[in-house]
Structure 1
Amino acid sequence: MERLSRLPLFVLLIGVAGAAMMLPAGYAAAGDWNAIARNFFFSGILLLVMAALLAVALAASPISSGPHGRSALATMLGVFGLLPVALGLPLAMSLPDTGMFNAWWEMVSCLTTTGATLYAAEMLAPPLHLWRSLVGWMGGLFILVTAVAILAPLKVGGFEILSSPYGRDERFPRLPDSAGPPKQAAQYYLADGDRGTPSSRALRSLFDVLPYYAGFTLVLWVLLLLGGDPGLIALSRAMGTISTSGISPVSGATGVHSGIFGEMMVFAFMILATSRRFWPGGEQLRATDSLRSDPELRLGVGVVLLVAAVLFARHFFATFEQVTDAEDPATGLLITLQDAALATWGGLFNALSFLTTTGWNSVDWQGARSWSGLESPGLLLAGLAIMGGGIATTAGGVKLLRVFALARQSERELERIVHPTSVSGGGRMGRRLRGEGAYLAFIFFMLFALSIAATVILISIHQIEFDTAVMLSVSALTNTGPLAGTIALTPSFEASAGIASNPWEGWSGLATLPKTVLAGAMIVGRVETLVILALLTPDFWRR
């Protein structure tokens, strides 16, 4: 443990990537895909040897141990930008006509938990699907670990919303005991993640998060198997749900094999992406003590219920009047209520799925669309993806806590219009959310909007339709790859990812420049714009 903590985090991740390749290698060997097994095995050996050589070469080099080490944020960018080159080696070797660039792009999409793909599901061998799902699963784990180990000490990535501007914990101060000696009034807050090197902090956070992360995945996998999903599909669904990557070895809805039971299980585990409260670490993000009053959970539940209610009510009353005028109102009403219940479930599932940037579709989503008469669901689902899930979770988007801070600040401004001399309550956390938190949230929201505009402009250089460019940009920046399939995209055939590619989905047929821009947008959406701006400030790099 101590020796590993002395190594750079990037070197450790290269070794982890090499070791992870042994899993699809064994699966391919057991399934008689010998060529694919060799590709994964030798690629894994290559990465393990490279990690060992780098470890020996860098063992004597000192690593910055302060919480503001210059390499921490740069390492995160390197992981999402450079590590996919190594992760894409077996994919490029197994698909010789795809090219290294397309393999790198696919791994960027998986590692950032975006889930966009260049390939048709039925054209890839099962070991390659397993590798894509595993990379997405590891990408989600990396986000949960680095949120506490890297972003929390630097007060970025959402931790700035509730962080004390004075560097101390002001949330729940305790008065000194009357009978005992007085305690120190000001205790400066220093999280466990602030001590040691980035590697040591990441390893400590990994040991805390991994049992929960792997345990949730295992439980969901077993439940989906019991529901009727085949082994690989169930495992990919479980990993794609916990990591919110939305990666699946088959196309189509979630409950094709497991039905409503499987969708209910997936729905329950997607709630984990609405708040950091369900994961170890991130105590700074707890605005309240109780789970019931958690602002992210309350806002997420409210948005999901509102979307489902709107979809339900939009067509219910008109259909109800038609049924009452029919010859057999009782039978017609029963059928209508059954269809309404299924449509409501489809709306609930898809609302939570895209709010957490997972991107699964319910088997009853088409029924929900037909029931509500919704012709263009892409805009609704894009709005949910932009709102995003919980801060410091695997979800992307603007995040619920930032939206909540802006809503509370807007509510307070309306109160001041009616009662200019009123004093607002809510405690220290409430005042901070309406003050510094809302200010920082507004800055992030504006940067996010500018990122969408810049991405649309850059990928439109190759004469891509505007609605297609907007949907691809939002999908990349919110890390919700399946979002691009919610509207009929205009396909482009300027490039190809090989015989297994699927240009009709909107990603594969793009030229090199739009693909590169979208890959960069995935990284920006995953790391967040404020983190990248922190890397560009001169004060950050000054010793």
Structure 2
Amino acid sequence: MARAPASRAPARPGSRLAELPFFVLLMGLCSAAGLLPAVHALTRGDRATGLIFLAAAAIGAGLTLILALATATGRARPGTRDQLFTLVMAFAVLPVLLAVPLMIAVGDTTLLRSWFEMVSSLTTTGATVFDRVDRLNPSLHLWRATVGWLGGFLMWVMAFAVLAPMNIGGFEVRHARGFGEGGTARVVMRAADPSERLARYAARLLPIYVGLTAVLWLGLLVAGEVPIVAICHAMSTLSTSGISPIGGVPFGASGIEGEVLIFLFMAFAVSRLTWSRGLLPGDHDRLIDDPEVRLAAILIGSVTLFLFARHFLGAGEAPAETEFAAAATALWGALFTVASFLTTTGFESYWWIGAADWSGLRTPGFVLIGLAIVGGGVATTAGGVKLLRIYALARHGERELERLIHPHSIGGSGVESRRVRKEGARMAWIFFMLFAMSIFIVMGALALTGVQFETALVLAVSALSTTGPLAHVAAEHPVSYAGIPDTAKAILAAAMVVGRLEALALIALLNPELWRN
């Protein structure tokens, strides 16, 4: 006797939402984000800007609904590499949609310049073609900060849901296998398919991300900051985009208290263990034992002391006064700015100019270039080479020096430490070479557009390390993104995407399995 088919339980709304293509979800999220500047503009009496963003949000929601209905066909769920490919396409397509309301609201700008602005924001680079902050009204600055904040959250989720299972994005250092192969998160991969894993990590990380941003925002308000400036600086600190509606932290009303708060919250870009301990297998180390935290402390401390102590080591052009107040402000200015550029945030301290004069260096900004190249922690919103890769190279060099002195010595410290010194260092060296080659390629491409050598170097590093404000402080004279040719802007936008996703992620997309599937 034939058995009756079992009744299928109704699908939960959350599960049905997770079945939608990743790109459709991103479109819906970006469309909903347009409501924030719309509401802000309407509350401040800017009806034109508010209606522009309301219309953009409505049109984006309509397109999202159409794509959701068109793709709800019950097809097989995409794999991890498919989601990575979708992320690449999102960085190429979504900025166009995000740029349209910005272009219409500004009025006297082009789609290319607006697209560059949105690519810079979404990749958390923070480079801007609007040199004068009063060119944009507060609602448009809020839009830039919001897009950057969403880009930072996107990289948080993608790091755990996609990059860790594929063993790229810095995870390959501790779990060195082939690029794109399973590594750290094999247990997680068995627990859920990529779509469910993406939804689960998004649900777990969103309260943390929103909560940290809200705490910093409230802290800046208590310190006396203007509300719109406080929320933009809070978003930009957590996302390391460095976007500011007033031209930077030095022009804020919160003073030293605001800088201290921002400095403390930069720690979340140093190591993922500061906010996600235990989220992945093997992430149960104490924060003080994390190699990224220790290396960041060493770099920040040593560079700050170098800039401060050079005044006492015969810097002929340093200021003559050595009062305690001048020394203290120079020390703090160096400490804040060094930490900001190491985490690729790009905020400059109010006292950085004094710290630069105190050091006596002619171009102290080149020190910041090196810090931006090093970058922050793995699976954070920071860019650059990443601290864990630099740590692996340092441990490998330390071991090689030991072998020169004691050729028959045996390296200890456990299996994981040996793996970091060997396979991990090899992976880190490959990535470092790819990063260096990317700088040369971008510099060459910029030179073909007529950009000078020093300017091309600064722009290439700022794009690939996702540290847009670097262009204003690294060179002897500030570099303007608005002054470079349109072709150079397009090259830098592509470099920002490469720097945000990393070259290894793009190489993983070349795996033949992706195209066969």
Smaller-chain TM-score range?
over 0.9
1:201 aligns with 2:197: yes
Unmatched 5+ stretches in structure 1: 171-188, 327-331, 491-503
C-alpha distance in 2 between matches for 1:243 and 1:71: 25
| 1:160-205 superposed Cα distances (whole Å, 9 cap, x missing partner) | 11126498989xxxxxxxxxxxxxxxxxx73335554443222211
Deviation at 1:79, TM superposition (A): 1.6
Structure 2 equivalent of residue 306 of structure 1: 302
Q: Is the 8 A contact 2:373 2:384 kept in 1?
A: yes
Unmatched 5+ stretches in structure 2: 1-13
Structure 2 equivalent of residue 37 of structure 1: 50
TM-score, with length taken from structure 1: 0.88
Deviation at 1:13, TM superposition (A): 0.8
Structure 1 equivalent of residue 24 of structure 2: 11
Shifted more, 532-541 versus 475-484: the winner is: 532-541
1:57 aligns with 2:53: no
Structure 1 equivalent of residue 129 of structure 2: 118
Among 114, 124, 132, the alignment partner of 1:103 is 114
Deviation at 1:92, TM superposition (A): 1.3
Give the 3-state SS of the residue equivalent to 2:288 in structure 1: coil
1:315 aligns with 2:287: no
Among 248, 257, 271, the alignment partner of 1:275 is 271
C-alpha distance in 2 between matches for 1:40 and 1:8: 25
C-alpha distance in 1 between matches for 2:471 and 2:495: 14
| 1:299-349 superposed Cα distances (whole Å, 9 cap, x missing partner) | 0000000011111111135599x99xx9xxxxx7xx622211111111110
C-alpha distance in 2 between matches for 1:278 and 1:518: 31
Q: Which amino acid aligns with 2:244?
A: S
Q: Is the 8 A contact 2:167 2:182 kept in 1?
A: no
> What do you get for the CA RMSD once the two structures are aligned?
2.3
Q: Which amino acid aligns with 2:117?
A: E
1:521 aligns with 2:508: no
Q: Is the 8 A contact 1:6 1:197 kept in 2?
A: no
1:340 aligns with 2:327: yes
Structure 2 equivalent of residue 468 of structure 1: 455
Give the 3-state SS of the residue equivalent to 1:257 in structure 2: coil
Aligned residues: 500
Q: Which amino acid aligns with 1:277?
A: L
Structure 2 CA distance for partners of 1:168 and 1:41, relative to 1, 3 Å:
closer
C-alpha distance in 2 between matches for 1:531 and 1:95: 35
Q: Is the 8 A contact 2:363 2:475 kept in 1?
A: no
| 1:204-246 superposed Cα distances (whole Å, 9 cap, x missing partner) | 1111111111111111111111111101111111000011000
Q: Is the 8 A contact 1:255 1:263 kept in 2?
A: no
Q: Is the 8 A contact 1:356 1:388 kept in 2?
A: yes
Q: Which amino acid aligns with 1:524?
A: V
Q: Is the 8 A contact 1:220 1:265 kept in 2?
A: yes
Deviation at 1:521, TM superposition (A): 0.2
Deviation at 1:284, TM superposition (A): 5.2
Structure 1 equivalent of residue 88 of structure 2: 77
1:135 aligns with 2:158: no
Structure 2 CA distance for partners of 1:30 and 1:387, relative to 1, 3 Å:
same
Q: Is the 8 A contact 1:5 1:197 kept in 2?
A: no
- Which residues of 2 match residues 167-178 of structure 1 at below 5 A? none
Give the 3-state SS of the residue equivalent to 1:279 in structure 2: helix
| 1:414-465 superposed Cα distances (whole Å, 9 cap, x missing partner) | 0001111111111121111101100000000000000000000001112211
Give the 3-state SS of the residue equivalent to 1:88 in structure 2: helix
Structure 2 CA distance for partners of 1:125 and 1:164, relative to 1, 3 Å:
same
1:163 aligns with 2:175: yes
Among 354, 370, 389, the alignment partner of 1:383 is 370
C-alpha distance in 2 between matches for 1:168 and 1:528: 18
C-alpha distance in 2 between matches for 1:393 and 1:456: 27
Deviation at 1:262, TM superposition (A): 0.8
Structure 2 CA distance for partners of 1:46 and 1:25, relative to 1, 3 Å:
same
Structure 1 equivalent of residue 482 of structure 2: 508
TM-score, with length taken from structure 2: 0.92
Deviation at 1:467, TM superposition (A): 0.2
C-alpha distance in 2 between matches for 1:104 and 1:378: 28
Deviation at 1:62, TM superposition (A): 1.5
